[in-house]
Amino acid sequence: MTPSHSDLLAESLSKLETSQKQVNGKTDPEGNSGTIGTPRIHEGYGFRPPSGVSTPLIASATAASESLVPDSNGLGWPAKSTYSRLTATPEEKAAREKKLTEAVRTILDCIGEDPNREGLLKTPERYAKAVLWMTKGYEDRLADVINDAVFAEDHDEMVLVRDIDISSLCEHHLVPFTGKIAIAYIPNKLVLGLSKLARIAETFSRRLQVQERLTKQVAIAIQEAIKPRGVAVVMEATHLCMTMRGVQKPGSITTTSCMLGCFRTQQKTREEFLTLIKR
Ligand SMILES: [Zn+2]
């Protein structure tokens, strides 16, 4: 069975904790002495190419990965059909869109509509295109998103970008959830181009998501890309599956957060971040 996203994320987080213990030079309380040693360095792996080298090409869907992001090709938690979508020929792309269009016609039929009436004639094709666009994050490689935007810089204060608009699709109901995300990190010799923080969030939000996972994936991706002292991500969103159907609680907001490194271990840093995002 394919491991679930949450299993993979849990694995990434535990790898991260281990590597941070190594970096801090602390002994591992679990006594996993085999994992203690030089800090893991995987420049060129995951999604950051070594300086001056272009992003590695996709070799295979099963390439082993040392990266925190369990995918050596830089896709970041790819799903079962991610590779076939990414590497599709124009013919395969057209076939995919046609299949999807037919499926939407089936939906229209099933809800009691007439797919052949004038107003709906082009709807299946339009929706097929729209849904492929809304999930275009499956075609984004983090390697390309981050690409040349990692810079050496002696800045060691918090970098915070907040109020990044996010819209994504809930994987349980395929309806949107929308909101804002705040991303902060404390650099450790490397900084990331500011616009890239939003681009990383955008990449993961244009996939089927649950808000908790989206928050974690953004945090781990940044941790992996520039190895900062810590990363904090907070997301607030309204879920249409809650407000339009089911419990119908309009205006309810779901908040999720992921704190890594010094944001997790140092209360002062965490509080500074939480104060800054509330302004
Ligand atoms: Zn939902």
CB 229 within 8 A of CB 188: yes
| % of the chain residues with pLDDT over 70 | 76
Question: What is the DSSP-derived secondary structure letter of residue 253?
Answer: -
pTM of the shown model: 0.77
pLDDT value, residue 24: 52
C-alpha to C-alpha distance for 270 and 182, rounded to whole angstroms: 13
Q: 113, 173, 212, 266: which is the annotated catalytic residue?
A: 173
b/e map 37-46, b = 16+ CB within 10 Å? eeebeeeebb
Choose the weakest-confidence range: 60-64, 157-161, 169-173, 193-197: 60-64
pLDDT in tens, 207-236: 999 999 999 999 999 998 899 999 999 999
pLDDT value, residue 126: 97
- Give the pLDDT band of residue 72 (cuts 50, 70, 90): low
For residue 187, how far is its CA from the centre of ligand 1 (angstroms)?
35
For residue 238, how far is its CA from the centre of ligand 1 (angstroms)?
10
Collapse the DSSP code of 215 into the 3-class scheme (helix H, G, I; strand E, B; otherwise coil) and give the result.
helix
pLDDT value, residue 74: 63
C-alpha to C-alpha distance for 74 and 8, rounded to whole angstroms: 15
Q: 11, 153, 171, 271: which is the annotated catalytic residue?
A: 171
More reliable by pLDDT, 53 or 251:
251
CB 186 within 8 A of CB 269: yes
CB 156 within 8 A of CB 187: yes
Asked whether residue 139 carries a pLDDT value surpassing 80, the answer given is yes
Q: Which of 93, 99, 159, 89 is nearest to 124 (CA)?
A: 99
- Give the pLDDT band of residue 62 (cuts 50, 70, 90): very low
Q: Please, what is the average pLDDT of the chain? A: 81
| % of the chain residues with pLDDT over 90 | 55
For residue 243, how far is its CA from the centre of ligand 1 (angstroms)?
10
Write down the residue that tokens 């040392």 correspond to.
66
Question: What is the DSSP-derived secondary structure letter of residue 189?
Answer: S
pLDDT value, residue 140: 85
For residue 172, how far is its CA from the centre of ligand 1 (angstroms)?
5
Mean pLDDT of 232-249: 87
| Residue 241 bears catalytic tag | yes
Provide the strand spans (E) within the chain: 150-152, 159-170, 176-186, 190-192, 208-209, 230-239, 254-261
For residue 202, how far is its CA from the centre of ligand 1 (angstroms)?
19
Q: 20, 170, 202, 272: which is the annotated catalytic residue?
A: 170
- Give the pLDDT band of residue 23 (cuts 50, 70, 90): low
CB 180 within 8 A of CB 165: yes
